[in-house]
Amino acid sequence: MSGQDRPAKIYALHLAVLVVLFALNFVLPAYYHGLMARILVLAVFAMGYNILFGYAGLLSLGHAMFFAAGLYGAGLAVVHLGLGVPLAFLSGLACGAVLSLAVGALALRTAGVAFMIVTMMFAQVFALSLIYFARWTGGDQGLVVPQPARILTFGAAAFDLTDPTVRYMAALVLFAVALFVTLALARSRHGRVLAAIRENEERTRMLGYDTFANKLAAVVVSGTISAAAGAAFALLFGYVGAAFAGVQYSILPLLWVLLGGAATTLGPLLGTLVMYAVTDTASSFTSAWLLIVGVVLILLVLFFPKGVLGTLRARWLGWLP
């Protein structure tokens, strides 16, 4: 929507990425195939995070709670209520939406560092509650979503989500939906208002925008997409655990987004992918793999301060959304 709009080029690029991801299903060896399905789901988490952090400029340190809300919302619905896959997924989404609305309404009374601390505290409360209510949540151990419950039926057709190809395709569909939601948002009027709030909130208010309402909407969209990733994770990989609500799962999406490029549509995928590639490579030849990951992160921040895609956009590809 800016002065230099290139819609055809933008859609072509995004479709090409999806085609490549689709083709990978047929060429990746089993181990990487499984890893890639996981990366796609976690990239959706990163995309949810990116909406709040990248576009609206709000740094949350508590996004693990939204991922976990989807994870448990879907997992518990299967285990305790015996719901089918579609309803369990919707249950995960609803949990994420409700939680993000409540947390957003309270946390957005603060800004900056206070917002980071408040979101982190809420996430801690959420994670500790999961452990406290062990009778339902399985506590530290978590819960396994049984294989027979992870079959998606459409009339006569049945898709077993434990089958690697079905799982990969389900992850890809979710990723594609999240990608186009992000793209639509970034190019929408609401996206422009979010960018304005990120740049200068006071000025945005004096242009007649209710910045609180706009930020709350961003928290809810961001939290719900993160919850969608969590719900998909529970249903595709069959495990629901409190570790996913821990503080490292609030930091990881931040790292993925920073690496790939905040406020870019494809940055979250790239960041997640790079991080997994580095971790996987480094841990294959040394036990000090965290050291190598750290060095790579420092190098990336030095040479790509705006993330890989953010820097590419600033230097050469101004049209990149």
Partner 1 sequence: MISPLLVTRGLTRRFGGLKAVDAVDFTLMPGEIRAVIGPNGAGKTTFVGMVCGRVPPSAGTILFDGADITEMPPHRRVRLGIAYTFQITSVFPNLSVYDNVALAVQRGGGGDMRANVMAALEKVGLAGRAAMQAGQLAYGHQRLLEIAMGLALKPRLLILDEPTQGLSDAEIEGFVDLVRTVAENATVLLIEHNMPLVMQLAQRITVLDAGRVLAEGTPDEIRADAAVQAAYLGTAEQAA
Applying CB under 8 A, the residues found at the interface with partner 1 are: 1-4, 189, 192-193, 195-196, 199-200, 202-211
By C-beta, is 1 or 23 nearer to partner 1?
1
As a whole number of Å, the end-to-end CA separation of the chain is 10
- Angle value at C-alpha 117, between 179 and 129, nearest 5 degrees: 80
Gyration radius of the chain over CA positions: 19
Q: Which is nearer to partner 1, 200 or 286 (CB)?
A: 200
Neighbours of 37 (CB within 10 A): 26
- Residue 236's alpha-carbon distances to 86, 174, 185, 252, in angstroms, are 12, 11, 27, 20
CB of 315 to partner 1, least distance (A): 14
β-pairing verdict for 151-154 and 143-144? unpaired
Give the residue with the Cβ less far from partner 1, 153 or 200. 200
Q: Min. distance of Cβ 63 from partner 1 in angstroms?
A: 24
Q: How far is the CB of 321 from partner 1 (least distance, A)?
A: 13
The answer for 316, left when phi > 0, alpha when psi is -120 to 50, beta otherwise, is alpha
| CA-wise closest residue to 261 among 115, 111, 46 | 46
Give 172 or 197: the residue with its C-beta nearer to partner 1.
197
What minimum distance in Å lies between the beta carbon of 1 and partner 1? 7
Supply the minimum distance, in Å, between the C-beta of residue 114 and partner 1.
21
Q: Which H, E and C letters describe 204-262, residue by residue?
A: HHCCCCCHHHHHHHHHHHHHHHHHHHHHHHHHHHCEECHHHHCCHHHHHHHHHHHHHCC
- Distance CA(156)–CA(135), nearest Å, equals 36
Q: Residue 204 or 250: which CB sits closer to partner 1? A: 204
Cβ-based nearer residue to partner 1, 60 or 204:
204
| Least distance CB 3 / partner 1 (angstroms) | 3
CB of 210 to partner 1, least distance (A): 5
Nearer to partner 1, 33 or 192 (CB): 192
